[in-house]
Chains A and B, each alone.
Chain A
Amino acid sequence: NAGVTQTPKFRILKIGQSMTLQCTQDMNHNYMYWYRQDPGMGLKLIYYSVGAGITDKGEVPNGYNVSRSTTEDFPLRLELAAPSQTSVYFCASTTTGADEQYFGPGTRLTVT
């Protein structure tokens, strides 16, 4: 049972480039989340999904897009990367949406 996996671990992007952060969970969780964590700050919710085919915006969705075609996968797409998107990105999942979140190891992204 791998839990929540994220790829890549690190990435450097140039301004204006695009990329997809991958997130996969093998726990059959319905709820999945994407957060960003800036240095010395808490986590901010970007997007979340309550099941395959259903996504919704969180606190800070601008500049990002998501899709949820399967229960296992919840990729996060960055279009036209900006320096303000430099952050650590965490993917998480839960069973019911009101219980413990299981976090992936994170992706450290730098946009220069």
Chain B
Amino acid sequence: QKEVEQNSGPLSVPEGAIASLNCTYSDRVSQSFFWYRQYSGKSPELIMSIYSNGDKEDGRFTAQLNKASQYVSLLIRDSQPSDSATYLCAVLDTGNQFYFGTGTSLTVIP
């Protein structure tokens, strides 16, 4: 059974702070990793994808991948109340299947 683990939270940060979200995965041969944001009652939407070790930055978001440690993270800088949502980590295996974590609930306090 392939697993993707996230801290369920809830995680609360003040507006303007850095939010740090973490994810570990069990399938060592996974190559593609994704962070989705899901607002309550809505469908997931892609925030970041990362395929290589290291950091990938897109605006206020930075994804970090360490394949040796089977660890992927998402940093949100200058957090805004509109960032309040559940963040889902997803891992693609070699067989075309995506595995999702249970999500981390983030609340940004104004």
Binding site for B on A (CB under 8 A): 31, 33, 35, 40-45, 48, 50, 56, 58-59, 90, 97-101, 103-106
Contacts and interface: CB of A to CB of B under 8 A. Distances in A.
Contact of A101 (B31, B46, B101): B46
Contacts of A56: 96
Contacts of B99: 45, 59
B62 interface: no
B97 interface: yes
Interface of B: 4, 6, 8, 31-32, 34, 42-46, 49, 88, 90, 92, 96-103
A105 B41 CA distance: 9
Given A99-B49, A100-B34, A50 B96 contact: yes
Given A42-B88, A43-B44, A90-B43, A101 B98 contact: yes
B84 to A, nearest CB: 16
12 contacts: A40-B8, A41-B103, A42-B103, A43-B44, A45-B97, A48-B97, A58-B97, A90-B43, A90-B44, A101-B34, A101-B44, A101-B90
A97 B34 CA distance: 13
A82 B102 CA distance: 23
